[in-house]
């Protein structure tokens, strides 16, 4: 079986690739044209994550890199190159996409929706009828903040917290429609927020939670504050709106990749098989606020309602609603299917403040 993988140099894609290399003699990685040396980035990740030397040494003979334009018909390839690629694939892992919580909906649709459409066109064109394994997100559940989100559900009843969620919802709808139209099986995996305790490094993809840190730091700079809070070491107070009992599901990316590959080893049904790939225990919103306070040197606090006397710094956060809404979430993602297949827990790693700090704390700048 020959497998193709999009998003192979991304936060999740690198972990999927490492596990695929353990079972596949060769892989085709579909990378964004002009994005740099994908093979080097893959090699660097494997080095920094402690992969054995023998596997790294085998990469030149095992990895085929094809540069594509995900947003373009035929993935930006000529007709002949597109058909040759399609005919040589038995399975496609579609992991590429934008996770920009503050992104413009039109741009997110071009990447997450139209990109998915073009990957589906690749699968439809292949003479081997390759199986699609589509990486979605548990946050297609949208702006439902309480209750239970089930794997069979996919509707927009509750709206969405941001354009990213909507784009991933639309992409998954497209996948389901394609499966019905072509009578082809698809496996959809919906991870929650993916995290790691692998120390940050300039040669590694950014930790997904770094976007929140960046937003806070951008707000601080706009408000005239330096990286230590304010001149003289003062820690400005900043109130973030959230529920006192709010919680979020954070899943170690290494465990998520392992579960996804285990699910892929099972026979697919005739339709769409959807799985929540989530942690057995949520992280309190208060712990996430504590993490951000440690990262930014702000005096952060969680309040139930938007303060009427908002400071200039707090007012700036109104421009970044894409992530603050999650501090009010109290819902749970049902993962009965994964638990039935593999038994609890899906991850034995304890995700807490110390774990998160390991992956987001002081940046590692030494070479390995």
Strand partners, 93: 5, 133
| Beta-strand relationship, 247-248 and 283-284 | antiparallel
Q: Stretch 88-115: mean pLDDT, rounded?
A: 95
Name the region of 70 (left: φ>0; alpha: ψ -120 to 50; beta: rest). Answer: alpha
Say if CB 197 and CB 49 are below 8 A apart. no
Selection from 108, 43, 118 nearest residue 74 by Cα: 118
- Beta-bridge mates of residue 251: 194
pLDDT of residue 363: 58
Q: How confident is the model at residue 312 (pLDDT cuts 50, 70, 90)?
A: confident
For residue 262, what pLDDT band results from cuts at 50, 70 and 90?
A: very high
CA distance 240 to 10: 30
Q: Using DSSP, state whether 267 is helix, strand or coil.
A: coil
pLDDT band for 297, please (50, 70, 90 cuts). confident
Domains of the chain: 3-196+250-280+338-342 (3.40.50.720), 210-247+283-331+348-360 (no CATH)
Q: What is the H or E stretch that residue 237 is in?
A: strand 237-241
**CA 142, CA 166: separation in Å to the nearest integer?**
7
Grade residue 181 by pLDDT with cuts at 50, 70 and 90: very high
Q: What are phi and psi of 267, to 5 degrees?
A: -60, 135
Query: Which helix (DSSP H) or strand (DSSP E) does residue 116 occupy?
Result: helix 114-125
pLDDT score recorded for residue 367: 39
Q: What is the average pLDDT score of the chain?
A: 91
CA distance 251 to 280: 9
Q: Is 94 helix (H, G, I), strand (E, B) or coil?
A: strand
For residue 124, give the nearest of 172, 70, 173, 180 by alpha carbon: 180
Phi, psi dihedral angles at 36 (to 5 degrees): 110, -170
Tell me the pLDDT band of 328, cut-offs 50, 70 and 90.
Answer: very high
pTM of the model: 0.93
Give 351's pLDDT tier (boundaries 50, 70, 90). very high
pLDDT at position 112, please? 98
Percent of the chain residues past pLDDT 90, beyond the cut: 70
- Structure token pair of residue 141: 């559940």
For 51-71, what is each residue's pLDDT tens digit?
A: 999 999 999 999 999 999 999
């Amino acid at each position: 079986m020959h497998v193709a993988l999009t998003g192979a140099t991304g936060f999740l894609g690198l972990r999927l690739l490492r596990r695929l290399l353990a079972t596949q003699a060769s892989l085709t990685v579909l990378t964004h044209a002009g994005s740099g040396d994908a093979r080097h980035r893959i090699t660097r990740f494997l080095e920094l994550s402690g992969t054995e030397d023998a596997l790294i040494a085998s990469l030149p003979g095992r990895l085929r890199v094809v540069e594509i334009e995900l947003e373009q018909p035929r993935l930006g390839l000529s007709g002949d190159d597109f058909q040759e690629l399609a005919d040589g694939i038995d399975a496609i892992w579609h992991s590429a996409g934008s996770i920009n919580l503050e992104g413009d909906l039109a741009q997110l649709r071009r990447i997450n929706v139209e990109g998915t459409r073009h990957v589906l066109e690749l699968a439809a064109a292949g003479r081997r009828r390759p199986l699609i394994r589509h990486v979605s997100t548990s946050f297609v559940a949208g702006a439902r903040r309480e209750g239970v989100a089930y794997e069979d559900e996919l509707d927009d009843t509750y709206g969405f917290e941001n354009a990213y969620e909507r784009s991933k919802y639309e992409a998954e709808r497209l996948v389901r429609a394609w499966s019905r139209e072509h009578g082809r099986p698809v496996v959809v995996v919906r991870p929650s927020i993916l995290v790691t305790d692998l120390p940050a490094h300039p040669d590694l993809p950014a930790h997904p939670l770094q976007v929140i840190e960046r937003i806070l730091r951008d707000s601080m700079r706009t408000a005239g504050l330096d990286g230590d809070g304010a001149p003289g070491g003062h820690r400005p107070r900043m109130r973030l709106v959230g529920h006192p009992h709010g919680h979020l599901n954070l899943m170690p990316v290494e465990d998520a990749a392992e579960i996804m590959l285990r699910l892929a080893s099972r026979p697919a049904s005739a339709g769409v098989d959807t799985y929540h790939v989530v942690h057995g225990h949520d992280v309190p919103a208060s712990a996430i606020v504590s993490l951000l306070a440690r990262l930014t040197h702000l005096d952060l606090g969680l309040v139930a309602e938007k303060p009427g006397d908002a400071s200039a710094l707090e007012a700036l956060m109104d421009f970044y609603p894409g992530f603050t809404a999650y501090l009010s979430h109290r819902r749970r993602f049902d993962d009965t299917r994964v638990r039935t297949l593999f038994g609890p827990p899906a991850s034995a790693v304890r995700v807490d403040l110390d774990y998160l700090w390991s992956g987001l704390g002081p940046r590692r700048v030494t070479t390995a």
